[in-house]
Each structure stands twice: as structure tokens, then as C-alpha cells.
Amino acid sequence: MRLAVGSRQSRLAVRQAQIVMEELKKHHPEARISLVTMKTTGDRILDRTLDQIGGKGLFIKELDLALQEGRIDLAVHSLKDMPMEPPEDYPVLACTRREDPRDVLVLRKGLEGLKEDSVIGCSSLRRKLQLGALYPEAQIKNIRGNVLTRLEKLDAGEYDALVLAAAGLIRLGLEERISRFFSVEEILPSAGQGIMAVQGRESLRAAVACTNDREAVLEAAVERAFVRELEGGCSSPVAAHARVLGDTCVLRGLYYDEQSGGYSIGEKSFCIEENDPARAARMGRELAHELRERYAEKL
């Protein structure tokens, strides 16, 4: 068996692809597995925010094309960067075991803490909205680029701190840069944060099953269903975090009202049957509906 695995060129994306490849090699020692990297549109355009240039789908556009043309067999993505509806011909075949899903604060080297007027680098509307409640006096300034590029800008003095995903720093071996972990009650993560998605032809599902994690699949299903129901994308701060514990799932979600600029956060616990993503998705839609209705009643 020969498998060409596609990835973005950033160091984090390559490391994520390598993690998947290592698992594949462990279960398929006879396979010849190669890595193919490419720069995506989202990587090239760094002077505008994602909502201005078309959304997170720009991080996977070139990889989708490579799948269609047969230049790669599989693509590895951060699930949070994938559109809520992947192409039918190239579905998500597996969701890897979830790394820490929380957001973290990274201080500039030599800085011991934040002052009231500190500059925090952050490009996500989801993070900006929730950071406003935690640091009301801070200046939130846009930042684009991969993790290492952002850290370079931070240490060059352009920012006092950054808010990043813990998962990326951990996979890069940069845990020592983390100054503070934000609980999911403080900053609700993006749907799918910490999960890697393996995308490809349906015929390869059995081959990549070794990279699949039951809990990650169920958590991804409920979180992404919540966001889909609210029609949330990269320009919306809709957020969701689910945790599967045995046969129980706890979902926490954020609904944002674009007209008023207000938001509502709620939580829902439910029993979930083993390996039933469809039921998990229904629960995600239910919480989204409840939060939308609850917010409308307040207006």
C-alpha cells in the first residue's frame, strides 16, 4: 500500500501530519507513506482577517484540489479549520485523539504579567469577544500567520501577549511558552479545537481506522452540529466544547446575536449511545436551538 499524505507547509501542520503518519506506519508497517506539503491561500494572504478573504476554507482549498487530482491520498487538517460541510467525495475518515482543547495566554519573553493597557494579539472574533470580559482594559490587536510567526512578532515587541490554542504549542514542544491556561468557562474553544481530521476517499476508511478515536468523533459531531445549526463560520464567534465521559456527554456552547452584539452561553448534559455520532449531532442542534430561543426571549 502506498499513501501520499498532504499537509500545509507550516511546522505545526507538518508535525500533525507526521503524528498521523507514525500511527499509520505502526499499524501498516508494509505501507510506503510519504508526505506532500503545500502552501494554501490562507497561508499566503496575511494582511487581512479570515472573514475578509473568505474564511477558514482557504486553509484546505489546495489540499482538496490535490485530493481531486490524485496527487495525495489523504489530507491532515486541524478540524477547527475545516468547513462544517466537507466535500462528499472526500469525507473526514477519522478524528484523532484530542489534544488539550483549551486556549492559552503566551506572554512576550521577559514579561511577567499583563498591565491594564497591554496589547494582546488575537485575530479570532470568538476569542476577542470573550477576552473583553477577562481583560476589559487591554487592547486587542489583530495578528495573522502560523504559530511560529506569531511568536516571532510577539517577542519582537509588537504585542505583550498572544492567545493561542494549547494543542498547537504542545505538539510543537513549546509548552514552556504557556503562561496561563484559560478554562472553557473563561474562553470557550472553537469547535473541533485539539482534534486532527484525516480526509480522503471513502475506500481508505478502513486503512485509517487506526487513527480514529471514539471520543473525538463524538465530541466533533456534537460541536460541529451546534455550530452548523447557528450557521457559524470564521466570521462568527460561535463556539462549542463537548466532553464525552463514558456514556455521558456535556456540551457547552456560545450563541452570538449579530444584530445586538450580545451573546449567551449554555450547557447541556445527555446520555449518548456508544459510537452514535448522529445522536450526538442531534444534541448539538438542540442546545443551539435552546440558546437561540432563550436569547430571543431576553430581547
**Amino acid found at 282:** R
**51 catalytic per annotation:** no
Dist. CA 192–CA 222, nearest whole Å: 10
Residue 206 burial (10 A CB sphere; 0-12, 13-18, 19+): exposed
Contacts of 189 (CB under 8 A, 6+ apart): 101, 102, 103, 165, 239, 240, 241
| E-state strands within 147-223 | 161-165, 180-181, 196-200
Cα atoms in the Cβ-side hemisphere of radius 13 Å centred on 170 = 15
- The 10 Å Cβ neighbour count of residue 245 is 10
Considering 43, 64, 73, 81, which one is annotated as catalytic? 81
Nearest to 133 by CA among 178, 179, 188, 177: 188
Under a CB-based contact definition with an 8 Å cutoff, are residues 42 and 53 in contact? yes
The length of the chain, given as a count of residues: 299
Residues belonging to the active site: 81
